Each structure stands twice: as C-alpha cells, then as structure tokens.
Amino acid sequence: MEPRRTAVLISGTGTNLQALIDATAGGDHPARIVLVISNREGAGGLERAARAGIPTRVIPSARFETRGAFDTALDTALREAEVDLVCLAGFMRVLGQDFVARWRDRMLNIHPSLLPAFRGLETHARVLEAGLPVTGCTVHFVRPEIDEGPVLVQGVVPVFPEDDVETLNARVLEVEHRCYPRALEMVAAGRISVIDERAVLAGERPFERLVLHPSLQEATR
C-alpha cells in the first residue's frame, strides 16, 4: 500500500513533529509527511520540517477575520497537497465544526494529559495542584468539542513530589514522542475503526495502545 499522505499542523517548537518525522523517514511506516503547516510565523517546527526536506506553509491565523476563512485556507492547502491524514501537533488554534467534520476520523491530536481528565490548557499545573501520582498524554481523533474524541493511544508517566511544571512537561513529552508515531501508524495502516465513538484496533495486542514512561517500567518490574 502507498504510504498515507500526512500533514502535520503546528504552532510552536515541534518536538512531536520531529518524532513523527523521525518515525516516518524510513520506508516501513505506513504514513509519509508531505506537508507541515504552521499558523504562526517563525514557529520552531518549520525549521525541523525544512531540515527534513518537507514542504512547509505558514497560514497566519491572526491575519484572518473569521475562523471560517482561516479554516477554508487550511482546507485548501491540505487538498492541494492531496493529504489523507492530518496530525495536530501543538497546534494551538481551535478548528471549526465544518472543518472538523470534513476530516472526521482522519485528523489526530495529541494532548498532554490522560483524557478525559484535564482537558484544556495548563494541564501540568493542574495535575500538580491536584497532587496526583500519575499523568500522561493522549492521542485521539478530533471532534468539534475541544480535547474530545475516540482515544487511540495513551502514555503514562509518574509524578514525583519534587516535580514542577517544567520537569513534568519534559517527562510527558518523552512519552508523547513515542505515542504519536504509534497512533499514526495504527491509523495509516487502516487498523482503526470507530465504533460507538470508541477506537477499535484490529488484532490488538496487549498494551499496544499503552506507552509507559521508562521509570514506570522499572518501578513495576
């Protein structure tokens, strides 16, 4: 099967983009990144894409008068590049209902918490405030409601008493970088069906949709 043509949408540093670039660069991943779009000029991820020889576009959301006009420009760029799948990777712009409907079950997002807990922003600060022993990340299909949709893969990390937002963010990012390529692989390979708004993985093996931070693997051994 031809690799699925994939676009990655970013707003910032793009470490998840980098993980996706690295995972799909070899010949054996069922997705290929054909376009990176940023809604912010100067986003660090644009450099990463350029270094990997991937075409980039900047569609500055701040310059559009309405959400609809921005979404249309985005959709046009995706269609021009004959994109099959879209990965939101630190894309900090809410997409409208029509756009989300058009890309239903073909658009993935990564969120830095174990959804459905801690939707929205400042997830790590809220986890620390709640005094929880674990947190993590979630890759899911996008729905119009923010941070909702069938869950594909989750990564789990411990929270240590001495953690602050920065240390926790770094630990969660480590598992994000393993979860996102894995989720994209499942979707691109056509192994995921959505049944009753749950993602079902064909031939699922134990723990295939779960990634543990290395410190947890050691602690639970």
Residues at the interface with ligand GAR (CB under 6 A): 12-16, 89-90, 110-112, 137, 173, 176
Measured from the CB of residue 111, what is the shortest distance to ligand GAR in angstroms? Answer: 5
Measured from the CB of residue 211, what is the shortest distance to ligand GAR in angstroms? Answer: 14
Q: SS3 letters for 135-177?
A: EEEEEEECCCCCCCCCEEEEEEEECCCCCCHHHHHHHHHHHHH
Measured from the CB of residue 82, what is the shortest distance to ligand GAR in angstroms? Answer: 25
Distance CA 112, CA 3 (A): 27
Amino acid identity of residue 23, one-letter, is A
By beta-carbon proximity to ligand GAR, the closer residue of 62 and 195 is 62
By beta-carbon proximity to ligand GAR, the closer residue of 173 and 189 is 173
Tell me which DSSP letter residue 190 carries.
T
DSSP letters of 23-37? Answer: HHHSTTSSEEEEEEE
Amino acid identity of residue 160, one-letter, is F
By beta-carbon proximity to ligand GAR, the closer residue of 3 and 12 is 12
Amino acid identity of residue 140, one-letter, is H
Q: Is 213 a catalytic residue?
A: no
Distance CA 65, CA 211 (A): 41
Measured from the CB of residue 205, what is the shortest distance to ligand GAR in angstroms? Answer: 25
User: Which position among 111, 124, 140, 213 bears the catalytic label?
Assistant: 111
Distance CA 45, CA 153 (A): 23
Residue 125 token pair: 């600060």
By beta-carbon proximity to ligand GAR, the closer residue of 69 and 92 is 92
Name the residues annotated as catalytic: 111
